[in-house]
Amino acid sequence: MDVFLAILNFIGQQILNVPAYLIGIITAIGLAALKRKGGQIVGGGLKAAMGYLILGAGAGVVTNALTPLGNMILKVTGADGVVPTNEVITAQASQQYGAQAAYILILGFLVMLVLARFTPLRYIFLTGHHMVFMSIMLTVVLSWGLPHASWLVVILGALLLGVIMVVMPAFAHPFMKKITGDDSVAIGHFGTLGYIAAGATGAAVGRKSRSTEQINFPQGLKFLRDSMIATALSMVLIYMVFAIWGLIKLPLNDALLMFGANADGSPVQADQGAYIMAAFAQALQFGVGVAIILYGVRTILGEIVPAFEGIAAKVVPGAKPALDIPIVFPYASNGVLIGFLSSFVGGLVMLVILAIWLGPAFGLALILPGMVPHFFTGGGAGVFGNATGGRLGAALGGFVNGLLITILPATLFVVFGQMGFKNATFGDADFGWFGSILGLGFSGGQVVGVIVALVVGAALVVSASVYQRRVVDKGWLPGLKRDAYIEAHAEMES
């Protein structure tokens, strides 16, 4: 039994836990199904895996560039609370629940394949790290609700994981088709509620708003049409504002320590000038990270989309790969930046609401805006909002996402606090609503909790299947009124 558990843990943690390996394996399987030559199979799998590693490298550069900015904002504003971080809560929980989570991860992947094969929900979720995050969250909630039934925890967790991985791509797919212009890829990221809300917001408010990618810059600012330059310059302005604010408000050594310290704890930067230039360099690094992400996305798409034709034909006919959120970034680079900034503002607004009203009234924790979740989910929300509502949709869609990824982690924090986890919670929208519903169900007892879990799982599959048949398969696309208006307006101008 120990050997079997070790093998499952190895597969779950060392293979399925690494998105690049999973992407490469799936690509190789698809190419094999297409009866490609051995060299093409190996080469395609490796290239897809390396594309994902390139994407991850870009994400790492972005994260490293945002971390000092986030710390600086917290210092100069004096905010105090919890910054939701998926990696932190996962690391804490995996020490106690790692074995059960490995079972849930592997069995949940199989449940997903079965659902994709025998229901209308033909999506294959390939964002490996989010699979791990969700398996950990489900393990924690179910283990708390069923402390003496580990076998039931694994079975129920696998079912719920498989369900959430096929239903969320289905609900978001009309918006994805609107973004990409075809039916080749789906979104596989557990911030999907925020993306759907952003797309719906764009459709509601942006009927007359032009695309973020059609911003008419003055002749002297034509260079801002280059998304990499526009992104880097925007981050330079943001960094400079808070860097100067830090010098004004904080003691000099505290400000200088924002960019690291020597072994003896002294600031790396020797003076204010070096500090300002370090902030400038971090802002440029952010732009570099975004450029790396976009290249990685193009590399992945070039390999995995053709390979999925083989999987669709042989294993799950008609299946679509559900990929990580940066997959949409190339479709609206300006929308990513607008969505990120708007999401951050939304997070600040909801933080004030929590501090003034919801916290005192309902005991909700203060959720501080983390720069990384707001960039990735807010940027994605900006792309979704732009697709249906142009610039206004990108701005308000990102703002709505910011509200969601602040209030939902606050409700989940209450549930996790009952389980003994302090100062940590999951950050993205789907963890918040899914975990909160399950946790509240088990607060009514084991029987009630199991019934709630099964009912929620069944309701999601049924509703998503009906939605797939009656909405997605019928070809409905959001924002059609805006398309008609923009087309008519373009004809009048011509």
pLDDT band at 12 (very low <50, low <70, confident <90, very high): low
Residue range 175-194: average pLDDT? 94
439 falls within a domain: yes
Instruction: Please give the Cα distance from 92 to 313 (Å, whole number).
Output: 41
Token output for 431? 């963890």
Regarding predicted confidence, which is higher, 71 or 326? 326
Query: How many structural domains compose the chain?
Result: 1
Residue 478 contacts residue 198 (beta carbons within 8 Å): no
Residue range 56-72: average pLDDT? 77
Q: Does the pLDDT at position 17 exceed 70?
A: no
188 falls within a domain: yes
Q: Does the pLDDT at position 165 exceed 70?
A: yes
User: Computed over its alpha carbons, how large is the radius of gyration of the chain?
Assistant: 23
Position 156 scores a pLDDT of: 96
Position 413 scores a pLDDT of: 87
Among 84-88, 177-181, 206-210, 269-273, which is the least confidently predicted range? 269-273
Residue 135: which of 13, 19, 20 has the closest Cα? Answer: 13
pLDDT tens digits for 261-279? 555 555 555 577 778 888 8
Residue 55 contacts residue 18 (beta carbons within 8 Å): no
315 falls within a domain: no
Task: Give the structural domain span for 134.
Answer: 81-211+332-494
164 falls within a domain: yes
Residue 417 contacts residue 370 (beta carbons within 8 Å): no
pLDDT tens digits for 410-464? 999 888 877 776 667 888 999 999 999 999 999 889 999 999 999 999 999 999 9
Q: Does the pLDDT at position 387 exceed 90?
A: yes
134 falls within a domain: yes
Regarding predicted confidence, which is higher, 70 or 244? 244
Residue 170 contacts residue 464 (beta carbons within 8 Å): yes
Mean pLDDT of the chain: 84
Regarding predicted confidence, which is higher, 193 or 76? 193
pLDDT band at 398 (very low <50, low <70, confident <90, very high): very high
158 falls within a domain: yes
Q: Does the pLDDT at position 362 exceed 90?
A: no
10 falls within a domain: no
Token output for 34? 């297409």
465 falls within a domain: yes
